[in-house]
Amino acid sequence: MAEIALSAVSKSFGEVRALADVTLHVANGEFVVLLGPTGAGKTTLLRLIAGLETADAGSLFIGGRDVTQQSPALRDVAFVFQRYSLYPHLSVFDNLAFPLRAPVRRLAPDVVRATVEKTAALVRIAHKLQTPVTKLSGGEMQRVAIGRALVRQPSVYLMDEPLSSLDAKLRAELRLELKHIQRDLGATIVYVTHDQTEAMTMASRIGILDHGRLVQVGTAREIYENPVSAEVAARLGTPRINLIPIEALASDALPAAAATVGARTEHIRLAADPSGPGTVTLVEHLGNESHVHVELGGRELVCLAEPRRELASGSRVAVTLSNFLLFDRAGRNLDLGSARPARSDLVFA
Amino acid sequence: MSEIRLEKVEKRFADFVAVRDSSFVIHDREFFVLLGPSGCGKTTTLRMIAGLEFPSSGTISIDNEDVTSKGADERDIGFVFQLFALYPHMNVRQNIGFPLRCQGVPRADIARRVDEVARLLGIEALLDRRVAGLSGGDSQRVSLGRAIVRDAKAFMMDEPLGALDAEMRERMCGELRRLHDRIGATTVYVTHDQVEAMAMADRIAVMNHGVVDQIGSPMDVYDHPATLHVAGFIGSPAMNLLPVSAALAAGQRELELGGTRLPIPLQTDALSERALVIGVRPEHVELVGEGGLRGQVFGSEYLGTVQIITVNTPHGQVKVRADSALAVTPDAPIGLQFRADRTHLFDATSGATLGAARTGADSSTSSARVASGTRGLHIAPSVAHG
């Protein structure tokens, strides 16, 4: 296993700036997830590490070696794609054994067998080794694809949305398994996704990409609790954080630089109040919790509520914000880098 | 008024029974969701209500009028499908107005209705745009517009949000429900996504293998699942289900598993030894250092305010919803305690719930289960007495 160091890497395709000045250090054994919408540059960054693209500027080290100009084959990385890309005419065993049978390796058949069996157990496909891959379910195929990457123990694993083609239930299962396998192997993984749940649940650290720039790197908790900007705050957390212009609050207790209040659903308290300023427009009962939509001064807030709270559509409520975030005119978090000061609750008039 | 009533409706395709002996009522102005995995018969049920398929037996009535043998064009129903079937050569305005043009509605009336609908959907600015360049969400708003532009008796929606990405789907859930409330129509909505169903429905019919397992409000099917299938299908992460084999005595409230006693709903009747399943939701399990059902931490998933901790036990994996501030160590031994009043017990073979845990049950639930009697999902004796 190995660490990865990117410094000041940039990449353009014609006029389009795909990556701008990206510096990222991935420690040995770390699981870094790059999160961003389509076009943010996350796949380009992954392909750069793999050597499938070459940087216009900057440098890339893997395991202490400068690989900036090296071909993919010399970088000792394994790539898992979104689509399984297995050999359809081969069995699970032969698909897993394929990378080990490459002529350069010359491994003895019993070594190949032992390695394949160990890997198959790891990705829980050992009971289907002789099955043709075309007979597998989607989840099984993707486990084989991941297994094929694991089998050769490269320095670094690169994964491009490997779970996105699976259904929700399977995705949740494999998420947990992949994290577990990574920890067992002490593997270094760079993983690309646009799914914030995958990022939050698997990553040692998340890198948030926005228009080719790496805008924040941190643990899920760090980014969730202390996002650098309103834009980043909206990337983590479902339902999305409520961003409320300061004018809507008419409060003089806030710093002058504050332009926007960021209130996550759990930062909003609702109380039934016939003369309250808010009107409940929709209650979504999700079982373990409810999402209450409140219309307030022409904007909609989404708030978290206990599942058994009786807040009917149409009822009036008082709305209080606590433990909220503040952003300036440029969207920057006002309290970044400092402990968030204790602020008194805000009550909507 | 548009109440939809199904009585003993069955649909067979050759030897395959797609929908079996279904009887239920969809109330006027209700947002009614047919929920289940693929192949459970939900789309076939919707298509029969719409008149796109005809039942092999049974009757369907809308507003007390028997429409069983009437075609879709005679039922006055609006449709929205998963794929935005928009006419590419027409702009947004023409697409929305199309159903009215087909009916020969005067031009001025069409213009007025289209404007109304566009305002309702917040797409006034798009009216003169070509449909080709629209985003997924906007395309789906236009197909909604085309469905609601007629004053239909009821709207049928077949996975209308299935093709959208997660964020857009979440937003459209809210929009759809509010739209339903504004136009005050009856909506029948088909999905395999339990989150959509929970978020939007007044009542959910949970289907499995052509049978309606349970009908109830989102909270009812979540808190009081009538069958093992409903218990496992509703909720994310799903309810923890632990298999155990035991006999039950009247008055019993605990079951022995892995050297610990787990709470179960109060049993009113004795049952001979059989395969059972204990169910408990992730938010009703507590982690304890000593005692409880012993296991090992497999992993934890941070989700902001909460985390989901997965624990491997010799009896299966158990997921626990816990405060995200709680620190757990991977592979550490840990105990699980189930909240006494929040466990469920099922007969593993019939799938029926056992015990007196049900309170405030929806009356239509039991009728749905009676209707499904042919598949052995009979009411357990203990429930019938209770």
pLDDT tens-digit map of A264-274 = 999 999 999 99
For the stretch A141-186, pLDDT in tens is 888 998 898 888 888 999 999 888 777 777 888 898 889 889 988 9
Name the most confidently modeled range: A188-192, B103-107, B145-149: A188-192
Which residue of chain B has the CA closest to A302? Answer: B174
Neighbouring residues of A57: CB distance < 8 A, sequence distance ≥ 6:
A8, A9, A10
For the stretch A218-243, pLDDT in tens is 999 999 999 999 999 999 998 899 99
Which residues, numbered 177 to 196 in chain A, qualify as contacts with chain B under a Cβ-Cβ cut-off of 8 Å?
A: 179-180, 183, 195
pLDDT given at position B381: 33
Closest CA to A55 of A6, A102, A113: A6
pLDDT of B175 above 90 = no
Query: Which residue(s) pair with A206 in the sheet?
Result: A33, A218
**Rounded mean pLDDT, B359-383:** 36
Picking from B178, B237, B330, the nearest residue to A281 by CB comes out as B178
Interface confidence, given as ipTM, is 0.82
Task: Answer yes or no: are the C-beta atoms of B305 and A305 closer than 8 Å.
Answer: no
What is the full DSSP assignment across A262-306? Answer: EE-GGGEEEEE-TT-SEEEEEEEE-SS-EEEEEEETTEEEEEEE-
More confident position, B309 or A253: B309
Task: Answer yes or no: are the C-beta atoms of B353 and B381 closer than 8 Å.
Answer: no
Cα A263 from Cα A280, distance rounded (Å): 17
Contact A180 B298 (CB under 8 A): yes
Q: Where are the alpha helices (DSSP H) in A167-278?
A: 168-185, 196-202, 220-225, 230-233
User: At what angle are helices A138-150 and A109-122 packed, to 10 degrees?
Assistant: 130
pLDDT of B369 above 60 = no
pLDDT given at position A348: 85
Among the residue ranges A45-54, B215-224, B309-318, B377-386, the one predicted with the least confidence is: B377-386
Helix (H) or strand (E) holding B218: helix B218-223
Contact A236 B283 (CB under 8 A): no
pLDDT given at position B378: 33
Residues of chain B neighbouring A176 (CB-CB closer than 8 A): 298-299, 301, 310
Tokens for B32? 């009614």
Name which of A38, A171, A176, A269 to mutate to probe chain B: the one with the most chain B Cβ atoms within 10 A of its Cβ.
Answer: A176
Q: Among all chains, which residue has been given the structure tokens 């900057």?
A: A58
Upper half-sphere CA count for residue A97 (Cβ side, 13 Å): 19
Contact B301 A201 (CB under 8 A): yes
pLDDT given at position B383: 32
CB neighbour class for A76 (10 Å; exposed up to 12, middle 13-18, buried from 19): middle
Closest CA to B213 of B358, B44, B20: B20
pLDDT of A326 above 90 = yes
**Rounded mean pLDDT, B107-136:** 89
Neighbouring residues of A134: CB distance < 8 A, sequence distance ≥ 6:
A88
Contact B199 A238 (CB under 8 A): no
Q: Among all chains, which residue has been given the structure tokens 């486990």?
A: A143
pLDDT of A13 above 70 = yes
Cα A81 from Cα A52, distance rounded (Å): 13
Cα A272 from Cα A312, distance rounded (Å): 10
Contact A282 B330 (CB under 8 A): no
Contact B198 A288 (CB under 8 A): no
For the stretch B324-338, pLDDT in tens is 989 999 899 999 999
pLDDT given at position B312: 96
Query: How distant, in Å, are the alpha carbons of A273, A302, A303, B204, B231 from that of A306?
Result: 17, 13, 10, 21, 20
**Rounded mean pLDDT, B170-176:** 85
Query: How distant, in Å, are the alpha carbons of A260, A324, B94 from that of A327?
Result: 5, 10, 43
Residues of chain B neighbouring A269 (CB-CB closer than 8 A): none
For the stretch A19-44, pLDDT in tens is 999 999 999 999 999 999 888 999 99
Name which of A285, A292, A295, A313 to mutate to probe chain B: the one with the most chain B Cβ atoms within 10 A of its Cβ.
Answer: A285
Query: How distant, in Å, are the alpha carbons of A258, A327, B20, B59, B158 from that of B62?
Result: 56, 54, 20, 10, 19
**Rounded mean pLDDT, B248-257:** 93
Contact B304 A195 (CB under 8 A): no
Contact A266 B305 (CB under 8 A): yes
**Rounded mean pLDDT, B44-49:** 95
pLDDT given at position B384: 32
pLDDT given at position B366: 36
For the stretch A119-147, pLDDT in tens is 898 888 999 999 999 998 888 888 899 88
Tokens for B41? 């018969």
Contact A183 B310 (CB under 8 A): no
Look over chain B and give the mean of its residue pLDDT values, rounded to a whole number: 87
Residues of chain B neighbouring A221 (CB-CB closer than 8 A): 302, 324
For the stretch A86-106, pLDDT in tens is 898 999 999 999 989 888 778
Tokens for A47? 């392909």
Name which of B167, B203, B297 to mutate to probe chain A: the one with the most chain A Cβ atoms within 10 A of its Cβ.
Answer: B167
Chain B residues near any Cβ of chain A (below 8 Å): 166-167, 170, 173-174, 177-178, 181, 193, 195, 198-200, 217-219, 222-223, 234-238, 281-283, 298-299, 301-305, 308, 310, 321, 324, 330
